[in-house]
Structure 1
Amino acid sequence: MQTIMIDGSRYDSPRELHLALKQMLSLPSYYGMNADALNDCLSERTQPVNLWVFDPGSGDVASAVSVICEVFRDNGGNVKEL
């Protein structure tokens, strides 16, 4: 099972966060950079992906991290906020 780690304080916008997720998860070029697209991509996987969050960040990034955590949970992944 794959585990990825994010630190929301490293990103200035939700778009930057989604770009990082795209790279970490090797998402397709057509990835839509939003929670719905992430849900679609994760639901196609045969194994869930775990997410460890070191810092949710602030503002819009923190809101995006919260939604992303739910998407990972909805797709069977474990989410740990460290």
Structure 2
Amino acid sequence: MKKILLDLRSFDSKAKIHAYLKDKLDLPSYYGANFDALYDCLTDISEDTCLGVFEPEEDASSGTGVPAAWFSLLNRVLCDSEEANPHLAVIFSRYEDNR
């Protein structure tokens, strides 16, 4: 099984997140950097793949420059893709910095 860790905690723009996803998920050059394109690419995965997703804490997401609602939509796309593709598993975690 292919395992990919996505750390989404420190981005200041949606475009940078899409570029990061394209790189980490090895998405094709024609990836459109939007949720529809992400869904299409994730549902095309044919190798068993597990995505581990570290998200910003809800109250911290506003400080990232990316609205919390956008992360909710991203989560929905990941969950919908997992439901549609038997080769894809998605695990979410919130990183807690206890400094």
So what's the TM-score if we normalise by structure 2?
Answer: 0.65
- Describe the shift of the 1:28–1:53 C-alpha distance in structure 2 as closer, same or farther (beyond 3 A): same
Alpha-carbon distance between aligned partners in 1 of 2:71 and 2:49, rounded to the nearest angstrom: 15
Bigger radius of gyration, 1 or 2?
2
Quote the residue 2:39 is aligned against.
39
RMSD value over aligned CA atoms? 2.2
Quote the residue 1:68 is aligned against.
74
Structure 2: where are the runs of 5+ without partners?
83-88, 95-99
Structure 1: where are the runs of 5+ without partners?
none
Quote the residue 1:30 is aligned against.
30
1:58 to 61, 72, 91: 61
- Describe the shift of the 1:51–1:21 C-alpha distance in structure 2 as closer, same or farther (beyond 3 A): same
Q: Which amino acid aligns with 1:39?
A: Y
Matched-pair contact (CA < 8 Å) for 2:61–2:67: yes
Q: Which amino acid aligns with 2:92?
A: K
1:5-16 alignment, distance < 5 Å: 5-16=5-16
Question: Runs (4+) of structure 1 moved beyond 4 Å?
Answer: none
